[in-house]
């Protein structure tokens, strides 16, 4: 079932073209990976689909309005601001005065999501005291509150150490299997994309390729996306990209 259709989407910031004539569909249950070099327009594409960027031509059609979540690369806030992880989660949960007087159910849900990303010990820490990796885990856990049907991840494992990165992707994959969670993820991790994605689009301001990872992640297409020095090698767990330079 089609969830989102993107038709001839183009974005320019001033005279600078960011995206040109992008078209693709997102189906219910897809794990769509968006790959491309820095400056390819991946984040802008996701923000445009989410309605956070209003200056574009073409169409973004949401066929239904599912519960949606977003994990940005980072959020910026005032240094030393007193907001704990628990409060950050409470901003998302409940109605009315639930922020002041959270229910036991809300607190249980918060703890359970934190446990899923191995961050339960961070509950009462201030957000501004967290490392980049811890913050990323908090953002992922927050995105899973209230059981979303589609989640957009902008490099979900950036700043996370290798062991935890594996945990994050395994968690996302299990959620996908259990709840048929639709995921759109921007990633530089070709290996992860190869293992987990059901669909890939390669972007470098325009659409370079799209299809299943097996169809798309070839040496030729990756060189088209990342430049002629890029190559891939196979190993026991999948694929990795490397640079010949």
| Residues at the interface with other proteins (CB under 8 A) | 47, 50-52, 68-70, 72, 75, 77-78, 80-84, 87-88, 90-92, 94, 96-100, 124, 126, 142, 152
Using the minimum distance from each CB to other proteins, give the nearer residue, 28 or 83. 83
Q: Are 186 and 154 in contact (CB under 8 A)?
A: yes
E-only strand ranges, the chain: 2-13, 16-27, 31-35, 57-62, 68-71, 150-154, 182-186, 199-204, 206-211, 230-235, 238-243
Q: Tell the smallest beta-carbon distance from residue 191 to other proteins (Å).
A: 28
Q: Which among 91, 121, 84 is positioned nearest to 106, based on CA atoms?
A: 91
Using the minimum distance from each CB to other proteins, give the nearer residue, 14 or 163. 14
Using the minimum distance from each CB to other proteins, give the nearer residue, 128 or 219. 128
Using the minimum distance from each CB to other proteins, give the nearer residue, 71 or 232. 71
Q: Tell the smallest beta-carbon distance from residue 147 to other proteins (Å).
A: 13
Using the minimum distance from each CB to other proteins, give the nearer residue, 135 or 208. 135
Q: Which among 90, 91, 85, 49 is positioned nearest to 70, based on CA atoms?
A: 49
Q: Tell the smallest beta-carbon distance from residue 224 to other proteins (Å).
A: 31
Q: Tell the smallest beta-carbon distance from residue 10 to other proteins (Å).
A: 21
Q: Tell the smallest beta-carbon distance from residue 198 to other proteins (Å).
A: 23
> Half-sphere exposure of 22 toward its Cβ, with a 13 Å CA cutoff?
33
Collapsing DSSP to helix, strand or coil, 56 comes out as coil
Using the minimum distance from each CB to other proteins, give the nearer residue, 73 or 223. 73
Q: Round to the nearest angstrom and report the end-to-end CA distance of the chain.
A: 43
Q: Are 230 and 72 in contact (CB under 8 A)?
A: no
Q: Tell the smallest beta-carbon distance from residue 115 to other proteins (Å).
A: 21
DSSP single-letter state for residue 126: B
């Amino acid at each position: 079932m089609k969830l989102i259709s993107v038709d001839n989407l183009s974005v320019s910031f001033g005279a600078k073209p960011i995206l040109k004539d992008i078209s693709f569909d997102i189906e219910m249950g897809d794990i769509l990976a968006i790959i491309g070099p820095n400056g390819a327009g991946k984040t802008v594409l996701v923000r445009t689909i989410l309605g956070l960027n209003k200056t574009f031509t073409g169409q973004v059609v949401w066929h239904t309005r599912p519960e949606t979540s977003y994990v940005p690369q980072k959020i910026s806030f005032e240094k030393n601001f007193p907001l704990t992880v628990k409060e950050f989660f409470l901003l998302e949960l409940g109605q009315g005065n639930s922020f002041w007087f959270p229910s036991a159910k809300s607190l249980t849900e918060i703890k359970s999501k934190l446990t899923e990303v191995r961050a339960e010990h961070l509950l009462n820490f201030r957000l501004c005291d967290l490392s980049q990796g811890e913050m990323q885990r908090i953002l992922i856990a927050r995105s899973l509150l209230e059981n979303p049907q589609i989640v957009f991840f902008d490099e979900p494992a950036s700043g996370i150490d290798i062991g935890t990165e594996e945990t994050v992707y395994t968690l996302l994959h299990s959620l996908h299997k259990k709840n048929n969670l639709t995921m759109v993820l921007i990633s530089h991790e070709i290996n992860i994309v190869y293992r987990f994605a059901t669909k890939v689009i390669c972007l470098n301001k325009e659409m370079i390729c799209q299809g299943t990872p097996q169809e798309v992640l070839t040496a030729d297409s990756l060189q088209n996306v990342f430049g002629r020095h890029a190559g891939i090698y196979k190993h026991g767990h999948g694929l990795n990209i490397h640079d010949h330079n």
